A and B are shown apart, each in its own frame.
Chain A
Amino acid sequence: MQGLGRSLYHLRVRNQDPTTLIGIVLVVLFGYLIAAPIFLLVTDAFVVQFADQGRAGQPMGELTWYYVERVFFSRISMDVFWRPLMHTALISVSAIAIALTVGVPLGWLMSRTDLPAKKWFSTALIVPYMLPSWTFALAWLTLFKNRTTGGSASWMESLGVTPPDWLAYGFLPITLILALHYTPFFILLFGNALRQFDSSLEDAARSIGAKRGTIARKIILPLMLPSLVSASTLIFAKCLGDFGVAYILGVPVGFDVLATSLFRAISTSQTGMSALLALTIVILGSVSIFIDMYLLRQARRFVVIGSKGSMNRTTALRGWRLPAFGFAMSIFLISAFIPLMALLLTTVMKVPGVFALSNFTLDYWIGTDVGTTALKQGILLTPEFWEVTWNTLWIVGSAALGAGFLGLLVGYVVARTEAKSVATFLRQVTFLPYLVPGIAFAAAYLSMFAVPRGPLPALYGTPIILVLAILADQMPFASRAGISGMMQLGRDPEDAARSVGAGFIRRLTSVVVPIQKGALVSGVMLPFISGIKGLSLVVVLAVPGTEVLTTYALRLVDYGYSQASNAVVLMICVIAFGGTMLVQRLTKSNLSDGLGNK
């Protein structure tokens, strides 16, 4: 009898509000949307797939090393894995080297000197990161492509020079573009580290007679190292998963990286092989991110955060002010202004690169007789464009809304539930997509949803798979925002509401959500922006009926309609840039705070 009373008591205590129940629902949901697809990816790589029975010499569904052998050791392994791996490695290392060379001086100029127009630069130099990386690949094509890819002539061609392939495509442009796109990582991370560095440490060293060079080498550098390593590993992880740039600039000349090799395996329906390739990318990405987290934890042990009184001395550049300004300005021009202007100008010129008044036209935007076969009118008059825009807005919009609210719920459960295992699982499972580059995540979604699963029909080909994939892909950020928001909020406001008689729903709607409004706005807006410009995830999952702006732009590239595709890309840039600025304004946050998010 007494035992019964106790059980009843614990039941009542545990169920006084549905937090744990919601937690369990979330566990099931994310188990389904995140853990299961990734798990399937793993199994797909190691069991015989449909249509491979003959080649593997095993019945379907049996455990096999066939794909491992095929990817790593067969005749084709050079083409599908080793060469792309080498390319990826070479590109990442060179991109990191360039980004470091450019970003570190900029980071220092922005944080510790009297560089003119510092404030303006602090936004201007980050622009490349706000926009999709493959935007710059399109700009590159606009300027430098040759007859290897069709369509209208590039600016260089119009000037009468035919760019050689090595300049137009492949390693060089891919590396340069990725380097410039990710240079902001160094500017922000290194700049922030310098900003937090306590000048009194320098003074202390100087006071015992250390020379400037010695100080830089022995004191500043070791303390800055974590930020440099962090930026490098993050860039490596990003380069691993970057699909668009390599697709646009590499594929025309058969230059493959891991992401494009995976894409080819997917588009030729080689399920087992693509699963294994995706898995390899995931493992490489995870290793680099864990190394980064480990190093950051190590670094935190001896971090020297400037105390309130600590001075953050600015170095006077004196005679170097102008050259420094010139340097920063030229980086801005090269990495943002020129590419965007090239894109923009292409859309209003009949013949690219010819600056004669008669050559300018608005036909590609609003004309009615452009003269191309499939796209007879300007992009703004094309119904398909508006359909795709509408698709994008509602697909990405609902994914972002879902991610934002689920993120808040995850935060609520993690902060409140007494079931620690639920909290831990939710925290980890929502972080998982962070380790999985978009293209590999898309592969996982194909494994999961290309066939009917349980009560669900096959979702491939429907917009739902896009919504779910984008939502899941954005969960790392959304749940992190939710968790930190709820942790900061603490229990008190809610406890106070309970004490005046507010039940669970009431507390959630009248207290928690209104207080978390800011976090919620950024938890919805940032996934929205990142979903709008994302390419690698949707390029695998979208089909003609469910196209979004990014895949539409890519298709226009494939058709050779560069003016139209540039126009679409510019629209995406406007949304991405405007959205980012809006969020920063609304939340008074800085892009660097969220750095490392997808």
Chain B
Amino acid sequence: MSSISIRDVRKTYSKSAAPAVDRLNIEIPKSDFLCLLGPSGCGKTTTLRMIAGLEHPTEGKIVVGDRTVVSVDEGIYVPAEDRDMGLVFQNYALWPHMTVAENVEFGLKLRKVPKPERDRIINDTLEKLAIARYRDRLPSQLSGGQQQRVALARMLALKPDVILLDEPLSNLDAKLRLEMRAELKRIHAEMGATIVFVTHDQWEAMTLATTIAVMSEGELQQLGTPDDIYERPANRFVAEFVGNLPINIVELQDNSTNPLSAWVHGMLADIRLTAPAGSVGIRPEHVRLVPVETSPRPATVIDIVPTGGSWIVELSADGEKFFAITPEPPGVAPGEQVGLSVPHESLHIFDAAGSRIEAVLQQTTGGKS
């Protein structure tokens, strides 16, 4: 099993265009399950294809295990066909003229695996992915989900050390997606391969990954465990991108005429900061609704949306939209006034440039406002 090390990688497709990937540094330990997460066009596929060898970096170096597969400065470039990695494409890319079995067999033949051994591997792999019935069909005669599994089978049959998956679940329906997610987890546990998984679905990333790399506009925003990413977003982009319901952001002006920012300023008074704060993020689930009298921050309920087990409360605080989510029926009706309360420790504080500021809570006055 191999670790993957991406060092100072940049990729520009054409001289005039902005880099698709820039200053990328990621260390992926062996047997890690890394998710590349980010909005469309942020460079996830490009990164994956550079690891696979299907694109070449403009700058930088990539080391897999103890083999440097590409290094611009050292003049090293190992072509894709010699990298021995398993790759599953965003659109499957099955060979349309080969049957399911032939698709799986192709790579084995190239590795000169003897015929009986080949047949055994094909049968096993197809069995495992429950597509043995379709072994003699052409890809065009399969449903999207079945094609997806053929693509997986084709890759798995070769037992690669490193598995690269580009949004492999994006075209499946909800149920199949759940099944395949479990399947991937099982494969990971069983084979112990290092997996890099591209997705723009944060939920998928959260549930699958051991490490998540959040990217935006070609640059790495944060590398960390799913908990890290959610609990300690490195910057405003990550805070806003991750989370089912958008995080509430309050901009802080110095002369706080805005009541909302005045309120937050009030809370920050209890906190020692390492740098001046520019904005604050509050996750909806950390917003508590309290009786108006007990809170310095009143808000008007606009709408309540039950989402099965929790309730999204849309609020308006001095004209600003604000979301709260409650695990119990909120007990208020649209049009009513409620008070807002947020525990100090759940504030995400960012500086003027949007980077996270670590806060130190002052012991003496810690508590709730």
Contacts and interface: CB of A to CB of B under 8 A. Distances in A.
Interface of A: 2, 4-9, 11-13, 16-17, 492-493, 495-503, 506, 510-511, 514-515, 517
Given A495-B89, A499-B80, A12 B95 contact: no
B111 interface: yes
B158 interface: yes
Contacts of B107: 500-501
A499 B85 contact: yes
Interface string B80-114: 11101111010101111100000000110011000
Interface in B34-89: 52-54, 56, 71-77, 79-82, 84-87, 89
B80 A498 contact: yes
Contact of B89 (A4, A8, A11, A496): A496
Given A496-B94, A511-B95, 11 more contacts: A6-B72, A6-B73, A11-B75, A492-B91, A493-B95, A498-B80, A498-B81, A499-B85, A499-B86, A500-B154, A500-B158
A289 to B, nearest CB: 32
B111 A501 contact: yes
20 contacts: A2-B73, A5-B75, A8-B75, A9-B76, A13-B56, A16-B79, A492-B89, A492-B93, A495-B89, A498-B53, A498-B79, A499-B54, A499-B81, A499-B86, A501-B82, A503-B81, A506-B110, A510-B106, A514-B97, A517-B97
Contacts of B93: 492-493, 495-496
Contact of A12 (B73, B75, B154): B75
Nearest to B79: A16
B158 A12 contact: no
B106 A497 contact: yes
A502 B72 contact: no
Contacts of B82: 501
Nearest to A17: B79
Interface of A is mostly: helix
Contacts of A7: 75
B57 to A, nearest CB: 9
A269 B249 CA distance: 87
B83 to A, nearest CB: 8
A361 B111 CA distance: 67
Contacts of B87: 495-496, 499
B150 to A, nearest CB: 11
A499 B80 CA distance: 6
Contacts of A517: 97
Contact of A501 (B75, B81, B94): B81
A501 B84 contact: yes
Contacts of A11: 75
Contacts of B71: 5, 9
Contacts of B91: 492
A305 to B, nearest CB: 26
Contacts of A503: 81
A13 B69 CA distance: 12
A496 to B, nearest CB: 4
A4 B80 contact: no
Interface centre among A8, A11, A493, A496 (most CB of B within 10 A): A496
A9 B72 contact: yes
A502 B97 contact: no
Contacts of B72: 5-6, 9
Contacts of B76: 9, 12
Contacts of B53: 498
A19 B72 CA distance: 22
Contacts of B89: 492, 495-496
Interface of B is mostly: loop
A13 B75 CA distance: 9
- 5 tightest Cβ-Cβ pairs between the two chains A and B: A8-B75, A500-B107, A492-B93, A499-B87, A5-B75
A498 B97 contact: no
Given A493-B93, A506-B110, A498 B75 contact: no
A519 to B, nearest CB: 13
A495 B85 CA distance: 12
A13 B95 contact: no
B4 to A, nearest CB: 15
Contacts of A492: 89, 91, 93
B97 A501 contact: no
A501 B79 CA distance: 9
Contacts of B95: 493, 496-497, 511, 515
B75 A4 contact: yes
Interface in B153-205: 154-155, 158
B217 to A, nearest CB: 24
A424 to B, nearest CB: 16
Given A495-B89, A503-B81, A510-B106, A515 B96 contact: yes
Nearest to A507: B81
A9 B75 contact: yes
B11 to A, nearest CB: 12
A502 B75 contact: no
B54 A498 contact: yes
Interface centre among B52, B76, B93 (most CB of A within 10 A): B93
A527 B271 CA distance: 81
Nearest to B56: A13
A455 B56 CA distance: 41
Contacts of A500: 106-107, 110, 154-155, 158
Nearest to A3: B73
Nearest to B53: A498
A506 B54 CA distance: 17
Nearest to A504: B81
B81 A502 contact: yes
Interface string B100-133: 0000001100110000000000000000000000
A5 B73 contact: yes
B77 A16 contact: yes
Contacts of B54: 495, 498-499
Given A5-B73, A6-B73, A496-B89, A502 B96 contact: no
A500 to B, nearest CB: 3
A566 B94 CA distance: 52
A498 B158 CA distance: 13
A11 B76 CA distance: 10
B92 to A, nearest CB: 8
Contacts of B110: 500-502, 506
Contact of B77 (A13, A510, A514): A13
Interface in B225-275: none
A17 B107 CA distance: 19
Nearest to B83: A499
A493 B106 contact: no
Interface centre among A2, A492, A506 (most CB of B within 10 A): A492
Contact of B80 (A12, A495, A511, A514): A495
A21 B111 CA distance: 27
B43 to A, nearest CB: 18
A493 B95 CA distance: 6
A532 B91 CA distance: 43
Interface centre among A7, A499, A517 (most CB of B within 10 A): A499
A6 B71 CA distance: 9
A10 to B, nearest CB: 9
Interface in B275-321: none
Contacts of A5: 71-75
A507 to B, nearest CB: 8
A506 B112 CA distance: 14
B101 to A, nearest CB: 15
Nearest to A16: B79
Interface centre among A6, A16, A511 (most CB of B within 10 A): A16
B108 to A, nearest CB: 9
Contacts of B52: 499
A5 B76 CA distance: 8
Contacts of A499: 52, 54, 80-81, 85-87, 155
A9 B77 contact: yes
A506 B111 CA distance: 13
